Chain A
Amino acid sequence: MNKIELLAPAKDLFKAKIAIRYGADAVYVGGKKYSLRYRASNFSLDDLRELVSFAHHHQSKVYVTVNIVFHDADFLGLREYLKELDDLGVDAIIIESLAVLALVKKMGLKMECHISTQLSTLNSLAVNLLADWGADRVVLARELTIEEIEDINRQANLPLEVFIHGGMCSNYSGRCTLSNRMTRRDANRGGCAQSCRWKYHIYENDKLISDEACPLSLSSKDLRATSYIAKLIKADVASLKIEGRMKSDYYIAQVVKTYRLLIDEIYANGDIDAKRLAYYDQELSKAENRPSDDGFFGGNPDDSKHLYGINGAGVTHDFVAYVLAYDQEHKSAKIEVRNKFNQGDILEILSPDKTKDNCRFKVMAMFNEEYDALETANQPMQIIFLSCPYVLSEGDMLRKVRDLNAD
């Protein structure tokens, strides 16, 4: 049994490296073409070359999304692009089009083809058909319970990938064109306007039957599958996928690290108890910007898993700075400011090094590059020096604790 893979998203090279540093076994990214996240920065071939080198050096893998729904014109230049990806050493592409699958196999390329969740695969018959056609992995649809995933995996002839965290399409992925109709932005070619997150009134013929003060939203809470990780490991699922190619570096670091530690703890101890799960849920909440729950893992979502009111979660921590360097002699950190904080605030460390996990300190003295004392750090990208009792490393992150009662 191979150790389960933790697969993280990244919208640019910087974030992909963070995901790997914080414990991802593989990252998935979009190239400049054929990616479903049009607004993500996306990777040039040079970026991909650097990422593949970095990832392979860290024993991680790189998957590139080629998962738009293809129109005829999109095939122009595809063959050359696929060859370039293969030559760069990309480990796999994530595809929706079976014509692309056939092309990759016909070209004899080394990289694997993973079937995107855009194909909404919900059963082992479909998985095995895709296996016969040459697919190397299938990303299952999110609309499955844990028992269904276990059953499918028992019958499937291919490794399976399962979403465990992040935003949820409210409709079957790939089979929604609300955005197309309402904004003329093609949901299946990278332009999704997330019309499912908007508010709607319900009518019976011409009579309003919804509550005007609390309209319908198709929007669901985000997915957080911490309590199912042990079962997914036991089921021998191949890969656990985090959603969020549009998310911030701080989010990626927090989420990847939390699942990394959770997975490793389950492997070390054989299981995980409720107290430890609560701890990991608490850790994830530090990066949440929307309420979350277990999606379809426990059954078809009821009303408690939808978002009808305010979409935002109660933010408990604010990412405020990157660590650039640390001077052990003077116990001083050189940091790059990202968000405002003040003298007297309590900061918490987020680091790939788990020995520094959540260590907190109070902001005492801080200085700008001219060594002027500062009371407030409020200029993004400003370099400042800050005393810190803990040894920090380049790339560590600092976050301000909003709620001092929060763990």
Chain B
Amino acid sequence: MEIVCTLKPQTNLDKIIGLADGILCGSYFADRHYYALSKLKEIRKISKEKGLKLYILMDTMIKEEDIDLLYEYLEFLNNLRVDGIFFADLAVLRAAEDLHMTNLLHYDPQTLICNSLDAVFFLKNGLAGLVAAREVTYQELEKMLRFNPQKLDVYIFGHQKMASSARYFLRNYFKHIGKEIDLADREDLSIIETTRQEAYPILENHYGSKIYTDYIFCMYEEFLKLRENINCALVDDIFLPESLLIHVLKDLRNLDNHNVQGLLNRLKARYIKNHFSTAYLYAPTTMAKKEGLSDEQN
């Protein structure tokens, strides 16, 4: 099991050394955490020296016109000898097959890997890993991991992506109301449904709009129980201050059965303004409206 964290370009890499086993950085086909190719080369060099693995984030959908660029970029990554690529679009798998680099791939279709058999299907195709969907219960996740030991990657900490759109929700809206707002690389914007209180962070860029959960998904206790069967345990730093990222990475390094509750309590006390949640692990979703659910607008 490796602990891998996404890494914003402005985060001090030195602080990650010794805490994470790998970092996940974006460039082309990444809708955030963008690094120039020259910077990726530099990071590759440093990370190798420090014994840190370099994973690449390719979480956008891919258009037909970008296929040539996709091949070119994958070849660049292969030559850079990156340790892995987390991708969202099956075009990457097809192109990687042609380039004989399937063994670097980790498929993360965000919502789709909710069962053991789909995981088996992809792993049979030679992938290095597969990211479990966030919308599963603890029992389901535990079973999926048991079924595919040390092959599934699991997001264990961070805001979870709730929606990906090719549409420019914010740009279009502000144009509609005649207001000029600079939207480039903004991590301080959120949306709140008019009858609710939860603030959902929203990102918008060239690739469209992404909406994230109000809460920070956090599974310390579960991670402790499941970690032997996890391939990459992923920590997402999107919308998190550097201090919180470092805090969590340190906790994950030190977690054991005796201190887990204490570390969790200390985390919540220190970051009291944040909302930490185990999301769907113990709160399964339903297929229809049921009594007692918060659903004013059905």
List A residues at the B interface (Cβ < 8 Å).
Answer: 38-39, 69-72, 74-75, 96-99, 102, 118-126, 128-130, 141, 143, 148, 151-152, 155, 170-172, 174-178, 180-186, 188-191, 193, 195-196, 198-205, 209-211, 214-216, 218, 220, 296, 300-303, 305-306, 308
Contact = CB atoms under 8 A, between A and B. Distances in A.
B194 A148 contact: no
B61 A210 contact: no
Contacts of B170: 202, 216
Given A122-B61, A175-B111, A183-B298, A130 B181 contact: no
Nearest to B114: A71
A198 B120 contact: no
A210 B286 CA distance: 32
A184 B294 contact: yes
Contacts of A120: 61, 89
Contacts of A195: 193, 297
A189 to B, nearest CB: 5
Given A97-B115, A211-B177, A172 B191 contact: no
A58 to B, nearest CB: 33
Contacts of A220: 167
Interface string B86-97: 000111011101
Identify which of B143, B191, B202, B298 gathers the most chain A CB atoms within 10 Å of its CB: B191
A121 B90 contact: yes
B133 interface: yes
B286 A175 contact: no
B165 interface: yes
A294 to B, nearest CB: 14
Identify which of A130, A181, A199 gathers the most chain B CB atoms within 10 Å of its CB: A181
Given A122-B89, A210-B177, A72 B144 contact: yes
A121 B121 CA distance: 18
B112 interface: yes
A289 B175 CA distance: 25
Contacts of A302: 172, 175
Contact of B191 (A69, A152, A203): A203
Interface string B141-154: 00110000000000
A128 B97 CA distance: 12
Nearest to B95: A125
Given A99-B117, A193-B295, A122 B193 contact: no
25 contacts: A70-B118, A72-B115, A118-B112, A119-B109, A121-B90, A122-B63, A122-B91, A123-B91, A125-B62, A126-B62, A170-B165, A174-B111, A175-B110, A177-B134, A182-B196, A183-B294, A183-B295, A184-B286, A185-B285, A193-B289, A198-B194, A198-B297, A202-B191, A218-B165, A301-B167
A204 to B, nearest CB: 6
A195 B200 CA distance: 13
Interface string B189-225: 1111110100110100000100101000000000000
Contacts of B109: 119, 174-175
B115 A296 contact: no
B114 to A, nearest CB: 5
A97 B167 contact: no
Given A119-B109, A129-B91, A129-B97, 14 more contacts: A71-B115, A98-B121, A118-B112, A125-B70, A155-B64, A172-B61, A175-B112, A177-B111, A177-B163, A188-B111, A189-B287, A204-B188, A216-B173, A300-B166
